[in-house]
């Protein structure tokens, strides 16, 4: 069912654990104030210890708010993410090796500049050994996918790795998502977004946003968006993306550029609020090493 909803989006009565996206209709609703809520700087202070072992120090009910800015620095929308469940997994990578993996399940809602909900989706962040992982589902090209709303859709996300101790000059694995669109009888197209050639090019340097000041590493990558109806026909677009990443906190700022190298969009953290009382679930499963 399609719906519209003003901020805040986090009315979570039902938790869906499988990857999903809900599109909201664009019927206008009463717009709320677009003023950014003041950041709780105390929660971001270095004196506050992050949740031990959790991806990006997330705790149960942690809420992240990002603002979206266009090329001229004007508001273009907001992204709200809230942790709705934490899990502790035992990841069996071989017969003799079992690795503890922490998992955070989030609800993520994208709003336009009128505070109308555009999409709502489930994301999974993970942490194991010395690396945290964001969900490749967050890379979905929403514009390309909208024309396939009434079709069968199968998601194949690849998580993006973010090391706890980045080293300038090192390469990071590719990540993103491929979506197979089909009818009941035939495959229609593959729609994908992939971040390639990811490289740590700088840092750590201080970066200040409305949420506070963070010590960030700069990660550059090629963002390829593609729609492939059949093997001999493909529509591809490759642009530049720059992420500013703070170990133990997460992605602080993301810059996307046009093909011509001009700034197109900025996404930056405006607040991070945390409440105590995280609950863990323990499960065990086999998985390929990544």
Residue 214 lies in a domain: yes
Asked if residue 29 is part of any domain, the answer here is: no
Q: SS3 for 58? A: coil
For residue 93, what are the domain limits? 50-283
Which sign does the torsion angle of CA 55, 59, 63, 65 carry? negative
Q: 157 near 135, Cβ under 8 Å?
A: yes
How far CA 111 is from CA of 6, 23, 68, 177, 256, in Å, comes to 8, 11, 9, 21, 18
What is the rounded CA–CA span in Å between residue 23 and residue 112? 12
Q: Which has the closest alpha carbon to 9: 104, 114, 107? A: 107
In a domain, 144, yes or no: yes
275 lies in some domain: yes
- What's the number of domains the chain is made of? 1
DSSP-assigned letters across all residues of 210-238 = TTEEEEEEEEEEEEEEEEEEETTEEEEEE
Is position 10 within any domain?
no
| pLDDT score of 9 | 41
Strands 75-94 and 282-286: parallel
SS3 259: coil
**Residue 235 located in a structural domain:** yes
Give the per-residue pLDDT at 28: 37
Residue segments in the chain with a per-residue pLDDT below the cut of 70: 1-52, 275-290
Q: Is residue 32 part of a domain?
A: no
Which CATH number goes with the domain that contains 63? 2.40.360.20
Rounded distance, CA 16 to CA 121, Å? 9
SS3 263: strand
Contacts of 268 (CB under 8 A, 6+ apart): 66, 67, 69, 209, 210, 252, 253, 254
Give the count of beta carbons closer than 10 Å to the beta carbon of residue 110: 20
Q: How far apart are CA 165 and CA 98, in angstroms?
A: 22
Residue 217 lies in a domain: yes
d(CA 250, CA 44): 12
End-to-end CA distance of the chain: 36
pLDDT score recorded for residue 29: 37
Residue ranges with strand state E in 5-62 = 21-23
What pLDDT does residue 242 have?
99
168-to-55, 115, 152, 208 alpha-carbon distances in Å: 21, 38, 42, 20
């Amino acid at each position: 069912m399609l719906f519209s909803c003003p901020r805040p989006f986090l009315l979570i009565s039902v938790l869906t654990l499988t990857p999903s996206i809900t599109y909201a209709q664009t019927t206008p609703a009463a717009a709320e104030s677009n003023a950014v809520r003041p950041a709780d700087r105390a929660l971001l202070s270095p004196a506050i210890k992050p949740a031990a072992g959790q991806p990006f120090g997330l705790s149960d009910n942690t809420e992240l708010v990002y603002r979206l800015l266009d090329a001229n620095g004007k508001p273009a929308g907001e992204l709200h993410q809230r942790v709705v469940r934490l899990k502790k997994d035992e990841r069996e990578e071989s017969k003799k090796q079992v690795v503890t993996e922490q998992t955070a399940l989030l609800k993520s809602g994208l709003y336009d500049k009128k505070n109308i909900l555009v999409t709502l989706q489930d994301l999974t962040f993970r942490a194991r050994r010395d690396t945290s992982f964001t969900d490749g589902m967050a890379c979905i090209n929403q514009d390309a996918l909208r024309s396939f709303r009434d079709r069968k859709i199968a998601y194949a996300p690849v998580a993006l790795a973010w090391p706890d101790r980045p080293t300038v000059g090192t390469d990071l694995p590719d990540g993103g998502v491929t979506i197979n669109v089909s009818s009941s009888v035939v495959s229609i197209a593959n729609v994908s977004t992939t971040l390639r050639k990811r490289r740590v090019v700088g840092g750590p340097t201080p970066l200040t946003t409305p949420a506070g000041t963070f010590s960030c590493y700069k990660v550059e990558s090629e963002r390829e968006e593609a729609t492939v109806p059949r093997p001999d026909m493909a529509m591809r677009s490759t642009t530049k993306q720059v992420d500013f990443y703070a170990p133990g906190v997460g992605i602080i700022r993301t810059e996307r550029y046009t093909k011509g190298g001009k700034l197109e969009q900025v996404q930056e953290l405006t607040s991070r609020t945390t409440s105590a009382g995280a609950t863990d679930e323990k499960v065990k499963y086999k998985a390929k090493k990544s």
